[in-house]
Chains A and B, each alone.
Chain A
Amino acid sequence: MNTISDTLKAKSVLISDGAWGTFLAAKGLRAGECPELWNVDRPDDVLDVARSYVEAGADMIMTNSFGGSRFKLEHFGLAARAAELNEAAAAISRRAAGPDRHVLASIGPTGKILMTGEVSEKALYEAFGEQAAALEKGGADACVVETMAAIDEACLAIRAARDRTDLDVLCTFTFNALPDGSYRTMMGVSPSETVSAALDAGAAIVGTNCGQGPAGMVGIVREMRAAAGPDVPIIVQPNAGLPKLEDGKNVFPETPEGMAKYVPDLIDAGANILGGCCGTGPDHIRAIAAAARNATGLSL
């Protein structure tokens, strides 16, 4: 099938999906349970998440594999099943996506910090390579190295995916707003630094996800667009704001309409792929897709 970049040439804006973690939690995934194990133990529930995003109008469906590296699975004693769980994740999303939509496989951080010496570059590279290969085998056509904070870890993941697979590789980082109005990841890197590092490592598309809500994403996308030049597609997947506790449950403040309001500004800042992260659901994606249609005047 076409790469996401090729699809983008035909349609100026594409829609990605929303949250998986909060969605699975609503379906009964308990805190402390391994989400990726559901790909094998409760595949119908995972398929249901994927399908609801297809129905909401997403052009690309992600996978339930954010914590699918062997370093994360190790916490649950499941490191040896990394390939199996990732392959199953991609197969479920491909079933929902069909042949025409993209399956954008999720590769999240390992939780290890290279500079502390707790893990070697080789071990991280191997783990990411194993995960990416399994996701491709399961039917993904692209992967997103996502929610990254450290450039060294992200670049190892990009290289591993490029070396081991034919997947289209995307990369997103998560930023916080500083009091001076600039943005940095937890490890202190700026949006423009992440763009040049990710492109150097071989990413085809760069962007930002998670974070503090849609408002701050406009400035981040603008900085990324300036660093990436005019031709590199940019993906943006904000949280539905920061959660608030109501009656013992977390409620994300941004409504679908509230998030959709930011779509014209995000497109104007340079975003090409729009979706959501924590706290967003099919209704958010539906509203974002509608707003993107209005903003671009195209039928997406």
Chain B
Amino acid sequence: MSEDLLKQIADCIQRGKVNAASPYPPDMKGEDGADELTRKALDDGVPPNDILEKALMIGMGNVGHLFSENKVFVPDLLMAAKAMSAAMAHLEPFFSSGEAKHRGVFVIGTVQGDLHDIGKNLVCMVMEGGGWKVIDLGVDVSPEKFVEAVKKNPGCVVGLSALLTTTMVNMEKTVTMLREADPAIRVIVGGAPLTQEFADKIGADAYSPDPQGALDFLAQSA
């Protein structure tokens, strides 16, 4: 029973079906969405952590991988994230009580001088859907601000985003300062002008051309 329900929730998230009132996607019009089904699962006594791992993480993981493979695009990811957020809202109280657990803490921001947030926001959504607690420092984040956040969240992983060729160079300084503050810190970098070569050069632990890659890197290196 609960297996079917979890699969249904995962499907709603993958397809971006937020709730019954949502007209999107057209072939699911009128059906319950991630919102109603998550409420129902909790009412049925499905453990919150099962909903997180077997529904939310599966649904977002599927859409994240399709996005990496260029089979779906930004609009699909945005709708999936919207459905995921609707489900997550029901789970919030259980994170505070400890009944549901995050994979870890992910601190993310767009580096100093760069005001672009679309890519960063997509990473936030996929990481949250992957079970991580996301701390979004916003745009134009100084190295000092990143260091401060790392000190406040021991053991966290850091994500750095940049869209501009003129600001990606600021990533190097941020990585250096983060390592000085915490030699064991793991830093993932991403953004349109970046390459693996660049990431290696500035000493980042990982580069990903898409949000799911960050999540997969952390799953492999956990």
- Which B residues are within 8 Å of any A CB, using their own CB? 69-70, 72-76, 78-79, 112-118, 139-140, 164-170, 172, 193, 195, 197-198, 201-202
Q: What is the CA–CA distance of A62 and B69 in the complex, to the nearest angstrom?
A: 36
Q: What is the CA–CA distance of A284 and B165 in the complex, to the nearest angstrom?
A: 18
- Which A residues are within 8 Å of any B CB, using their own CB? 21-22, 25, 29-33, 72, 75, 111, 113, 115-116, 149, 178-180, 184, 186-188, 242-245, 248-250, 252, 278-279
Closest to B114 in A: A31
Q: What is the CA–CA distance of A113 and B116 in the complex, to the nearest angstrom?
A: 12
Residue from A72, A184, A250 within 8 A of B166 (CB atoms): A250
Are A116 and B113 also in contact (CB < 8 A) when A178-B70, A242-B195 are? no
Q: How far is the CB of B151 from chain A (nearest CB, A)?
A: 24
Q: What is the CA–CA distance of A188 and B197 in the complex, to the nearest angstrom?
A: 27
Residues of B within 8 A of A249 (CB): 169
Q: How far is the CB of A219 from chain B (nearest CB, A)?
A: 15
Q: Is the CB of A31 within 8 A of B198?
A: no
Residue from B70, B114, B165, B170 within 8 A of A243 (CB atoms): B165
Residues of B within 8 A of A188 (CB): 72-76
Residues of A within 8 A of B193 (CB): 242-243
Total inter-chain residue pairs, C-beta < 8 Å? 80
Closest to A250 in B: B165
Q: Is the CB of B169 within 8 A of A32?
A: no
Q: How far is the CB of A106 from chain B (nearest CB, A)?
A: 16
Residues of A within 8 A of B169 (CB): 31, 245, 248-250
Q: Is the CB of A184 within 8 A of B70?
A: yes
Q: What is the CA–CA distance of A111 and B164 in the complex, to the nearest angstrom?
A: 13
Q: Is the CB of A116 within 8 A of B78?
A: yes
Q: What is the CA–CA distance of A30 and B166 in the complex, to the nearest angstrom?
A: 8
Q: Is the CB of B198 within 8 A of A111?
A: no
Residues of B within 8 A of A33 (CB): 113
Residue from A22, A31, A113, A179 within 8 A of B70 (CB atoms): A179
Residue from A30, A115, A178, A278 within 8 A of B75 (CB atoms): A115
Closest to A35 in B: B166
Q: What is the CA–CA distance of A209 and B140 in the complex, to the nearest angstrom?
A: 26
Q: What is the CA–CA distance of A244 and B74 in the complex, to the nearest angstrom?
A: 26
Q: What is the CA–CA distance of A22 and B169 in the complex, to the nearest angstrom?
A: 13
Q: How far is the CB of B172 from chain A (nearest CB, A)?
A: 7
Residues of B within 8 A of A31 (CB): 112-114, 164, 166-167, 169-170
Are A115 and B197 also in contact (CB < 8 A) when A31-B113, A75-B115, A179-B70 are? no
Q: How far is the CB of A244 from chain B (nearest CB, A)?
A: 7
Q: How far is the CB of B82 from chain A (nearest CB, A)?
A: 8
Are A25 and B73 also in contact (CB < 8 A) when A31-B112, A244-B197, A245-B201 are? no
Residues of B within 8 A of A244 (CB): 195, 197-198
Q: What is the CA–CA distance of A180 and B71 in the complex, to the nearest angstrom?
A: 10
Q: Is the CB of A111 within 8 A of B117?
A: yes
Residue from B74, B112, B116, B195 within 8 A of A187 (CB atoms): B74
Q: What is the CA–CA distance of A249 and B166 in the complex, to the nearest angstrom?
A: 9
Closest to B73 in A: A188
